[in-house]
Structure 1
Amino acid sequence: MKNAIIIGAGPAGLTAAYYMLKETDIHPIIIEKEDYVGGIARTVEYKGNRMDIGGHRFFSKNREITDLWEELMPLQGKPAMDDKMLKRECQLKQEGPDPEKDDKVMLNRHRISRIMYMKRFFDYPISLGINTIMNLGVVRLTVVVASYIKALFIKRPENNLENFMINRFGKRLYNMFFKDYTHKVWGRYPKEIDADWGSQRIKGISLCKVISHLCAQIVHMRSGSVETSLIDRFYYPKYGPGQLWDTMKEEIEKNGGEIYFNNEVKEISRQSDKVTYIKTKNGSKTKVWEADYILSSMPIKELIKDINDDTIQQDVKEVADGLIYRDFITVGLLVDRLKIKNTTRIRTLGNNIPDCWIYVQEPDVEIGRLQIFNNWSPYLLKDPINKVWLGLEYFCHENDEKWSMSDEDFIKFAVGELEQIGVISKDDVEDSVCVHVPKAYPAYFGRYKEFQIVKSYLDSIDNLYCIGRNGQHRYNNMDHSMLTAIEAVRAINDPKYSKSNIWNVNTEKEYHEN
Structure 2
Amino acid sequence: MNSKQKALIIGAGPAGLTAAYKLLKDTDIHPIIIEKESFVGGISRTSIHNGNRIDIGGHRFFSKSSEIMDLWQNIMPLQGAPSKDDKQLNREIPLNDGGPDPEKEERVLLIRSRVSRILYLRKFFDYPISLKFQTLMNLGFLNTFKAGLGYIWSSCFKRQENSLEDFMINRFGISLYRMFFMDYTEKVWGKHPKEISADWGAQRIKGLSLSKAIISMLTKPFHKKVLRQKKLETSLIETFAYPKKGPGQLWETMSEEIKNMGGELILDSQVVKVCIENDKIKSVIVNSNGTEKKIDADYFISTMPICDLINAFDCQVPKNVLDTALNLPYRDFITVGLLLNKLKLKNTTNLKTISDIIPDCWLYIQEPDVKLGRIQIFNNWSPYMVRDPENTVWIGLEYFCNEGDELWNMSDQDFINFAIEELVKIQVIEETNILDSVRIKVSKAYPAYFGSYENFDDVKAYLNTIENLYCIGRNGQHRYNNMDHSMLTAIEAVKSISAGNKTKDKIWSVNTETEYHETNLNKKERN
Which TM-score applies when normalising by structure 2?
0.90
The answer to whether structure 1 residue 409 and structure 2 residue 414 are counterparts is: yes
Match of 2:253 in 1: 247
Partner SS state of residue 363, structure 1: coil
Between the aligned partners of 1:41 and 1:202, the Cα distance in structure 2 is 21
Matched, 1:22 2:8: no
- Pick aligned residue for 1:502 from 474, 488, 507: 507
Return the offset for 1:506. 0.4
Matched, 1:257 2:254: no
1:136 Cα offset (Å): 1.2
Matches within 5 A, 1:109-508: 109-203=112-206, 209=212, 212=215, 232-310=238-316, 312-495=317-500, 498-508=503-513
Cα distance in 2, alignment partners of residues 100 and 89 from structure 1: 20
SS in 2 for 1:131: helix
Deviation, 1:127, is 2.1
Q: Kindly provide the CA deviation profile for residues 227-277 of structure 1, in whole angstroms up to 9, marking residues without a partner as x.
A: xx9981100000000000000001000000000011111100110110001
Structure 2 vs 1, CA of residues 211 and 113 (structure 1 numbering), >3 Å: closer, same or farther?
closer
Q: Which residue of the partner structure matches residue 227 of structure 2? A: none
CA contact (8 A) 1:99 1:238 kept: no
In structure 2, relative to structure 1, the CA distance for the partners of 1:271 and 1:207 (3 Å cut) is: closer
Superposition RMSD on alpha carbons, in Å? Answer: 2.5
3-state DSSP of counterpart to 1:485: helix
- CA 1:313–1:497 in 2, change beyond 3 Å: closer, same or farther? closer
Distance 1:418 1:488, change over 3 A: same
Pair 1:254–1:103, CA change in 2 (3 A): same
**2:61 aligned to 58, 65, 70, which one?**
58
- Whole-Å Cα distance in 2 between the matches of residues 289 and 315 of structure 1? 29
Aligned residue-pair number: 496
**1:375 & 1:137 partners in 2: Cα distance?**
31
Change (3 A) 1:501 1:99: farther
2:88 maps to 1:88? yes
1:347/1:422 CA distance change after superposition, 3 Å? same
Cα gap change, 1:215 to 1:307, in 2 (>3 Å): closer
Match for residue 71 of structure 2? 68
* Separation in structure 2 between the aligned mates of residue 2 and residue 292 of structure 1, nearest angstrom: 6
Contact kept in structure 1, 2:89 and 2:352, CA below 8 Å = no
Structure 1 stretches of 4+ moved >3 Å: 89-92, 97-101, 203-220, 495-498
Aligned letter for 2:302? S
SS at match of 2:449: strand
Structure 2: distance between partners of 1:143 and 1:217: 26
Matching residue of 1:223? none
Displacement of 1:498 in angstroms is 3.8
Q: Kindly indicate whether the alpha-carbon contact (under 8 Å) linking 1:368 and 1:393 is maintained by their aligned counterparts in 2.
A: yes
Deviation at 1:203, TM superposition (A): 4.1
Which runs of 5 or more residues in structure 2 are unaligned?
Answer: 98-104, 224-234, 518-527
- Unaligned segments of structure 1, at least 5 residues: 221-228
TM-score (norm 1): 0.92
Identity %: 58
* Alpha carbons 1:78, 1:99 under 8 Å: kept: no
Give the letter for the 2:247 counterpart: P
